Amino acid sequence: MPTNTAVARFRKAAVKVLTLLVCVFCSLTSAGASERAQQASDPGAAICPVVYPLDESPSERGYHYLFYGDAFFINEDGYLITAAHLINSFRDGGQPHVLVELPTGQRRLLKTEVVATDWEHDVAVLRATPNPFQGDYRVAFLPLATERLAPGKRVVSVSLRPSSLEEAYTFEQPLEERSEGEVLSYQYTRTESGREIELLLYSQKVIPGQSGSPVISEESGEAVGFIEGRWLHPTAIPFVTSPEQIDPSPGAAVRIHYAISLLLQNGIPWHATLQPTGMVESAAKNAQGFTGPTPLSLVAAPYPPQALFGGEILLDARVDTRGRLTDIRVVQGQPPFLEEVLGALQTWTFLPARQDGRAVDARLGIVFQFPQPYVPKMTARVHEYKETGMDSKDRAALPLFTLEPEYPPNSIGEGSVILNEIADSQGRVTSIHVVRDLETLTAPTVAAVKQWKFAPARRGGEDVESGVIVVATFRRPVVASRRLPMGSGGRSCGVSMKGHCLFWQRP
């Protein structure tokens, strides 16, 4: 069972990973960069309206433009994050621009290049040219959060928009909208292609024109998401029944980890605010040893509707230096679960493992468990496996013994719980971190996983401590009876689901 010491060691290792990442991807070595990092305390200086100029030459009111939404700077190289749907109109031609503020308060048009897009999760990376951080502009960047902000934590959203959407001109000062609220919850929903996306719900009402604007932690000043004005799937947003929250329509933001994943894939740096700059640089210079991959974006696989009984998938995968899964080896898997799992893994991203401060490939154990949806259980809850890959010098930690969680009585919950755990060099679970919580189902999942036993990971031929991702996906159970008198000719029903017999058996 995990101990307080083990949990503390896990948290310390996670902070070390993030600190090293900040050093590699977030160099703050010049005085100018440090000065601008301080300017990021004013979020308005990091935010720029995304526009398209309609005039070839300015009038007395400046350039007439079309307004699409907002973007915000993430580093001193002129890179910005915005919602991808804002630039969808430019896919067939035309170039987006941003409005950047001068010291006089006026705004000037700058062209932007579309560097990368993730249409699935509505993320786009732009780059302003010329770089406003090297010119006479009032600009700053926002650091990005790598950890989930807990419900109840305070956030602020900041956006800029023209006073008139029809008559917008560059010489006219845009309106700044600031609103404060708190994180309510996190909602998983599915995109049109069937992939999951995680939205942050917060107690602020979204108004037209706020798409792409950052949602910022009041405590750290980090962007934790950006406003999703499209409402990807409005029916997935739950009504708030708390008396403190009168408005039943909370604001929704795409979590910033999708943007971080896109930045990692394209080798683009960003900033975080874990420690003062000097301390980060000093810690990174003296950092030694190995730290494993840290999850950024993990989605679950749906329970296959055609599956009558549960299943379990064991995988040994490599996390490369860009934080993506490669070389996925199927150790245990069967249809129809395997197809769903491999589809979900396509979107997973991590902060890469590090060896002495340098990003390296590392293997990771992954277990998808689909507990059987019957009460009482129709098959054994225990699963045992033979150790595989004994001759491999590098392998992930994989289970030798697993136990399905007990579905709690009087619960009707369904969905997925995701855990990130550490298995030590003897194959014992020493710490468990909940990545995705599910009320009433997280506790029994953790209780079951604490009893699992693992074949330890190997690195360079030696047994080592390693991470394992566990995804438990539940389907709402049905009452099962091995002998229900529903048949004829002396037969009885094996399992009854909603009044229908799944298979017949003779007495």
The whole-angstrom distance between residue 319's C-alpha and the CA centroid of its chain comes to 16
**Neighbouring C-beta atoms of residue 266, cutoff 10 Å:** 12
Say how many C-beta atoms besides its own lie within 10 A of residue 169's C-beta.
Answer: 19
Q: Are residues 203 and 299 in the same domain?
A: no
- Is the pLDDT assigned to residue 25 strictly greater than 50? no
Q: How far apart are CA 358 and CA 500, in angstroms?
A: 58
Query: What value does the mean pLDDT take over residues 302-315?
Result: 91
Q: Burial level of 294, CB count in 10 A (0-12/13-18/19+)?
A: buried
What is the pLDDT confidence band of residue 193, given thresholds at 50, 70 and 90? low
Q: How many domains does the chain have?
A: 2
**211 within 8 A of 69, measured Cβ to Cβ:** yes
Q: Does 296 share its domain with 250?
A: no
User: What is the pLDDT, as a whole number, of residue 21?
Assistant: 46
pLDDT in tens, 104-113: 888 999 999 9
Residues 261 and 336 in one domain: no
Q: What are phi and psi of 60, to 5 degrees?
A: -65, -15
One domain for residues 243 and 310: no
For residues 323 and 222, membership in a common domain is answered with no
**Residue 353 · residue 291 · CB < 8 Å:** yes
Ramachandran angles phi, psi of 347, nearest 5°: -105, -5
- pLDDT number for residue 9: 52
Predicted local confidence at residue 187, as pLDDT: 84
Q: Where are the beta strands (DSSP E) in 54-164?
A: 64-73, 79-83, 97-101, 107-118, 123-129, 154-161
β pairing state of 415-423 and 478-479: unpaired
Beta carbons within 8 Å of 165's beta carbon, 6+ residues apart: 67, 209
Rounded CA separation 126/116 (Å): 7
Instruction: Enumerate the β-bridge partners of residue 359.
Output: 354
DSSP state of 395: B
Q: Could you tell me if residue 367 is inside a domain?
A: yes
Residue 501 lies in a domain: no
Residues 304 and 222 in one domain: no
pLDDT band at 388 (very low <50, low <70, confident <90, very high): low
Contact 139, 126 (CB under 8 A): no
User: Which residues neighbour 387 within 8 Å (Cβ) at sequence distance 6 or greater?
Assistant: 400, 455
Residues 85 and 190 placed together within one structural domain of the fold: yes
Give the highest mean pLDDT range of 150-164, 238-252, 265-279. Answer: 150-164
296 and 226 co-located in one domain: no
Contact present, 276 and 32 (Cβ < 8 Å): no
Q: Distance between CA 439 and CA 448 in Å, rounded?
A: 16
- 90 and 197 assigned to the same domain: yes
Whether residue 38 is predicted with pLDDT greater than 70 in this model: the reply is: no
Residue 226 reports pLDDT greater than 70: yes
CATH code assigned at 347: 3.30.2420.10
Q: How far apart are CA 262 and CA 17, in angstroms?
A: 19
Lowest-pLDDT range of 131-140, 145-154, 185-194, 336-345: 185-194
In a shared domain, residues 256 and 329: no
Element holding 32 (H helix, E strand):
helix 31-39
Give pLDDT, residue 250.
83
For the chain, how far is it from start to end, CA to CA, in angstroms? 44
Cα separation, 298 vs 319, whole angstroms: 13
Strand, coil or helix: 265:
helix
Task: Please count the other Cβ atoms lying within 10 Å of the Cβ belonging to residue 32.
Answer: 12
**Lowest mean pLDDT, pick from 192-196, 293-297, 357-361, 403-407:** 192-196
Structural domain of residue 241, as residue ranges?
27-265
* In a shared domain, residues 236 and 311: no
Digit-coded pLDDT (tens) for 332-363? 999 999 999 998 898 898 988 988 888 899 99
72 belongs to a structural domain: yes
Q: Is the pLDDT of residue 51 over 90?
A: yes
| Rounded Cα gap, residues 316 and 333, in angstroms | 12
> What is the pLDDT, as a whole number, of residue 53?
94
Phi, psi of 225 (to 5 degrees): 180, 180
User: Containing H/E element for 216?
Assistant: strand 214-217
Average pLDDT, whole number, for the chain? 80
Q: 315 pLDDT band (50/70/90 cuts)? A: very high
Higher pLDDT among residues 41 and 4, named by residue: 41
